Amino acid sequence: MAKMTMIEAIRDAHDVAMAEDERVIVYGEDVGFFGGVFRVTAGLQEKYGQSRCFDAPINESGIVGTAIGMAAYGLKPVIEIQFADYVYPAFDQIVSEAARLRHRSNGDFTCPLVIRMPTGGGIFGGQTHSQSPEAIFTHVSGLKVLIPSNPADAKGLFLSAVADPDPVIFLEPKRLYNGPFDGHHDKPLQSWKKHELGEVPDGNNAIEIGKANITREGNDVTVLAYGTMVYVAEAAAEETGVDAEVIDLRSLLPLDLDTIKASVQKTGRCVIVHEATRTSGFGAELMSLVQETCFYHLEAPMIRVTGWDTPYPHAQEWEYFPGPARVGEALKKVMED
């Protein structure tokens, strides 16, 4: 066990995967010599050579499209989209191609591919470096969508994503890269190196895809969260004194509905938190599933706490971001209803 930031943990995961399997090829914008703008791939080119870790032209469709060809050949490409906000030019390749090769060719061609992208806000990135597009991907049959919230999960889920025979969207909450962030932006950041969740197992700690994690046990209300919002939810529970059970979904597609059901049927209340815009957000899907499976256990209407349906703003970042105050109000309200 070593203490690592989430960046170091994902880098370590690349190292493990590349050492284990020479078919693992890593590329993206600024990924090669420099090691990525967030330094996730630093040192990999030096260690594994230019043909296994290299810089790509600034063309996201080109990066994903070539990776699909490589996957069809038999390699296991792991590609970085520099910010999730930049993924849209690659959308056709992801939705119409990567996600469907297996189905449309009846398994003749498959697409084992990991598409990594830093996601979420809280870094004053404005509308082009802050978005949370996870719901767009969960709407596509054939994809898997993962979003870790701590260094050990990031490493373990990444290694499972690389081993997976199908394309995986791997979202990295960039506000968590260096330490857990609970939405109190005016307080100093605690580093993962000084946090118990900064402990990352050595070697291959693959974590099964599709399993949620209960990060805080409670009896009165279930909070469904993922990525940065896990810490915001925990902080809101502590600060309001509501006995909330916080579930870190970790995998949005496939989704661990059993864990969600068991918790909501126990607590009878449910608050859903995400940073992305509200309308047709992943919270809408969660709310539908809880309604379909837990209706007779619910004692109050469910509440969503989300980003507003606006472009992600710059100066108004903390008015947009669903911080602990807003989540706390929802917890109190759902208890009063």
Partner 1 sequence: MTDTYAPLSLHVPEPGCRPGDTPDFSDFEIPRAGDVKRPPEDVDPDDIRDMAFSIVRVLNKNGEAVGDWAGALTPDELRTGLRNMIKLRTFDARMQTAQRQGKTSFYMQHLGEEAVSCAFAGALKPGDMNFPTYRQAGLLLSTDYPMLTMMNQIYSNAEDPLHGRQLPIMYSSKENGFFTISGNLGTQFLQSVGWAMASAISGDTKVATGWIGDGSTAESDFHAAMVFASTYKAPVVLNIVNNQWAISTFQGIARGGVGTFAARGHGFGIASIRVDGNDYLAVHAVAKWATERARRGLGPTLIEHVTYRAGGHSTSDDPSAYRSGDEAAAWPLGDPIERLKTHLITIGEWSEERHTQAEAEILDEVVSTQKKAEAVGTLGDGKAPSPRDMFEGVYETMPSHLIRQRQEAGY
Task: List residues binding partner 1 (CB under 8 A).
Answer: 25, 51-52, 56-57, 59, 61-62, 65-70, 72-75, 77, 89, 92-93, 96-97, 101-110, 141-142, 144, 165-166, 210, 253-255, 257
- Please report how close the Cβ of residue 49 comes to partner 1 at its closest, in angstroms: 10
| Edge-to-edge order in the sheet of strand 270-277 | 213-216, 244-248, 221-225, 270-277, 303-307
Give the residue with the Cβ less far from partner 1, 61 or 178. 61
Nearer to partner 1 among residue 21 and residue 202 (C-beta): 21
Between 258 and 319, CB nearer to partner 1: 258
Annotation says 129 is catalytic: yes
Tell me the closest approach of the beta carbon of residue 22 to partner 1, in angstroms. Answer: 9
**Minimum distance from residue 100 beta carbon to partner 1 (Å):** 8
Q: Which two tokens stand for residue 8?
A: 């170091």
Question: Shortest CA distance to 228 belongs to which of 173, 168, 305?
Answer: 173
Min dist CB 263 to partner 1, Å, is 17
CA distances, 154 to each of 281, 289, 299 (Å): 23, 26, 35
CB nearer partner 1, residue 108 or residue 186: 108
Question: Which is catalytic among the residues 14, 103, 129, 184?
Answer: 129
Question: What residues are labeled active site?
Answer: 129
